[in-house]
Structure formats: C-alpha cells, structure tokens
Amino acid sequence: ETQILKKDQINQAVEFLRNGDLVAFPTETVYGLGAIATKEESVKNVYKAKGRPSDNPLIVTVSDENMMKRYAKFVPERAEKLIKHFWPGPLTLLLLVKEGSLPDAVTGGLKTAAFRCPNDELTHELISKLGYPIVGPSANTSTKPSPTTAEHVYHDLKGKISAIIDGGATEVGLESTIIDLSVETPIVLRPGQITPEELSEVLGEKVLINTGKVSDKAIPKAPGMKYRHYAPSAPVWVVDDVNDFEKIDFKSDTAVAALDSVLAKLNLPVENKFSLGKDLKDADHNLFSALRFFDDEDEIKTIYVQGFDEGEKSLAYMNRLNKAAAGHHFKK
Ligand code: TXA
Ligand code: MG
C-alpha cells in the first residue's frame, strides 16, 4: 500500500528512504520519485516503478550547494553564478561528476550528473534530515505527463512505491530548465521557466539552445529527449492560431484545452472543455493536468490544445506540448 504523508510526517519518509524504499516528493516544478542516490539497488527500483528505459539518467536532488560538492568533480565559476542567482529553484545544472561517487544507474554511465536544488520546504527538510541526495525523475509512469499533484502520482504509481509526500499542487507545472555546463559554451538542453535569456544575463555570456533534434543512433546530450513523452492515449493536436478553433469540426468525442477567453467562444459542452486559465503562466501550471484529465475519459478521441507564441517565455510550454502532440499541428 502506498501511504500519503503530510507535512508533519517527513521523518517517516526519511525512514522509508533509509530502508531503500521509494518515496515521491513535491518540488516547485513537478513531483519527483526519490530513492537515496548512492544506493544502487533502490535507484534501479526507480526505473522499474516508472517503467523507464535504463539508459535515461536521473537528476540528483540536493539540499544545497555543499551537498552537491560531494559529487561534482568541481564547481565551475558559471555554476557558482547560477546557483547564487537561481537556487533553490527550477534550474538543473549538468556538471562533470566525481568518478565513482554515484552509481552508473544514476548517471547512465556518463561523465556528467544533473544536479537540482528544488524550492520546496518539505523536500528540503527531507533531504537535509536524510543527509544524502535523492534521485528525482518525474514521478509519473514513463511516457505519461509529469505529475503536478499527489493524486497524479498516486494514479500512476500506487502499490509500486512506499509513500507520497503531499505538498499540494506544484507551482510552476513544467519541469526545470536543464543547462549543460560541462561543455565549452553553456547550452540549455531542456527549456523551463528560467529562460535562456535570463541565464545569459546572469552569466554575462552567450547561452546556446538545444533544438531537440536527436537521432536514435546518436548518444543524445539529454538522453530522455529521444523517448516518447507526455502522451495521453487520444491524439493531441496543437492549435497555433486561436482563430482556427472556430474551424474545427467539433463532435461529442472532441476535447479542447485552452485559455478561458478562447473557451468562452466555443460551442462545446463543458465536459469537453478544460481551462488552461487566464494567461501563459496559468497554462504552464495547467498543461499536464489537462493532458491527464482527458486521458482518463475513454470517450474522448481527439484533444486540441492551444499553442502560444510568446518567444522564450513560451519555449518550455511549446516543447512539452509538441512532444505530447508528436509534432501534429492543426491548420485549416
Ligand atoms: O523539474 C524537474 O527537473 C523534475 C523534478 C522532479 O525535479 N525532474 C525531472 O526529471 O524532470 P526527469 O528524469 O523526468 O527529467 C530529467 C532529464 C531527463 O531527460 C534525463 O535524460 C536528463 O534530465 N538527464 C539526467 N541526467 C543527465 C546527464 N547526466 N546528462 C544528460 N542528461 C541528463
Ligand atoms: Mg520525466
């Protein structure tokens, strides 16, 4: 049985982890699935619980920079700058790893590890009390949208993990920005709330953006990127121009996820609509809930989701939505 733990039960979560068990934890982005990062057997069970391909490495979640220093080969000045400015927060740093300090199951056998210090009180307490970093892939079944509530985690992983720390709905709703600092020019491997422009400003230098085109044969820089992602069972279509919503041939099995202002103009029953809120920030927060909502409705056969074109601000949202839609865009 999977237990739901409240904020005064962190000690119990610490006990589970020390025993080698798996515990899901809240962060400001999405829920993560934790195991002590240095316990190889527990880490392997994280892959099993998620149904995740074993060559896709895991984020190392730390309580602060000092904990990270035990596992990073060294901390470049760029990392110091970004940590000062953005930690704790939704930014993951790819650094060279101290050889032998973490199991291959964590790094996928790479020379780097992805370090993240989330901005969440409960998780900070958890890792501090534990004294060890925990791995932190999103706590969903592989290929499903990342979980933004404890209920989402329970839906996917009940019976497979010991506990879920319930910290309520996550604030950001999309996973952290990942920046690779192990290479000559810093490069954003996964867009998130913190934009390349903001990173570039703090670093005082150019930051590249990975375009995400990875072939199956290549060793991808962020191995997760080659896998199917965020996909509900019904096909998803991105609607880039809101005027196109009126051209869709709506049937009872059609669903729409869009901003309130867009939904208000559509002649569709309420149960076929999912509100993404009032603006892009709300849409970031609600996207994964929307995809999950219609996933559980068997009668829904097509899901149309509003696209955004707000430059770097909408990069993360469009990255996740494009993957959910497998690149399908609606045009009439
Ligand atoms: O916001 C987040 O980052 C959430 C919360 C729970 O912290 N975690 C998360 O983990 O999104 P996950 O495993 O779902 O995504 C991490 C991505 C994967 O695509 C993985 O391939 C990549 O980071 N990654 C991890 N370690 C890596 C490494 N050493 N080199 C390259 N990519 C790495
Ligand atoms: Mg994930």
Atom of ligand 1 at shortest distance to CA of 107?
Answer: 29
- What pLDDT, on a 0 to 100 scale, did the predictor assign at position 238? 97
- What pLDDT, on a 0 to 100 scale, did the predictor assign at position 197? 98
Distance between CA atoms of residues 156 and 13, nearest Å: 19
Distance between Cα 57 and ligand 1 center (Å)? 7
pLDDT digits (tens, 9 = 90+) for 260-318: 999 999 989 999 999 999 999 999 999 999 999 988 777 899 999 999 999 999 999 99
- What pLDDT, on a 0 to 100 scale, did the predictor assign at position 226? 58
- What pLDDT, on a 0 to 100 scale, did the predictor assign at position 281? 98
Distance between CA atoms of residues 295 and 280, nearest Å: 22
Which segments of the chain are extended strands (E)? Answer: 3-5, 23-25, 32-34, 59-61, 91-96, 112-116, 134-135, 163-165, 177-180, 187-190, 208-209, 236-239, 254-258, 273-275, 302-306, 329-330
Furthest C-alpha separation in the chain: 60
- What pLDDT, on a 0 to 100 scale, did the predictor assign at position 212? 64
Distance between CA atoms of residues 15 and 13, nearest Å: 5
- What pLDDT, on a 0 to 100 scale, did the predictor assign at position 261? 97
pTM of the model: 0.95
Q: What angle do CA 212, 86, 141 make, to 5 degrees?
A: 50
pLDDT digits (tens, 9 = 90+) for 199-240: 999 999 999 999 765 444 444 455 555 566 777 888 999 999
Substitution site in 59, 116, 176 for ligand 1 pocket (most atoms within 8 Å of beta carbon): 59
pLDDT digits (tens, 9 = 90+) for 59-74: 999 999 999 999 999 9
Distance between Cα 311 and ligand 2 center (Å)? 24
114 beta partners: 59, 94
- What pLDDT, on a 0 to 100 scale, did the predictor assign at position 105? 97
Atom of ligand 1 at shortest distance to CA of 90?
Answer: 1
Q: CB burial class (10 A; 0-12, 13-18, 19+) of residue 40?
A: middle
* Residues 6+ positions from 332 with CB-CB distance below 8 Å: 244, 247, 248
Atom of ligand 1 at shortest distance to CA of 29?
Answer: 1
178 beta partners: 92, 190
The residues lining ligand 1, judged by C-beta closer than 6 Å to any ligand atom, are 27, 29-30, 32, 56-59, 92, 94, 107, 110, 112-114, 116, 118, 136-138, 175-176, 178, 221-224
Atom of ligand 1 at shortest distance to CA of 106?
Answer: 26
Atom of ligand 1 at shortest distance to CA of 136?
Answer: 6
Which residue puts its alpha carbon closest to atom 17 of ligand 1? 224
Which residue puts its alpha carbon closest to atom 10 of ligand 1? 137
Task: Count how many Cα atoms sit within 13 Å of the Cα of residue 272 in the half-sphere of its side chain.
Answer: 18
H or E element that contains 108: none
Distance between Cα 127 and ligand 1 center (Å)? 18
Counting ligands in written order, the one closest to the CA of 34 is 1
Residue 196 has pLDDT above 50, yes or no: yes
Distance between Cα 270 and ligand 1 center (Å)? 36
- What pLDDT, on a 0 to 100 scale, did the predictor assign at position 160? 98
Distance between Cα 13 and ligand 1 center (Å)? 22
Q: Which of 236, 238, 224 is nearest to 292 (CA)?
A: 236
Distance between CA atoms of residues 14 and 234, nearest Å: 38
pLDDT digits (tens, 9 = 90+) for 131-181: 999 999 999 999 999 999 999 999 999 999 999 999 999 999 999 999 999
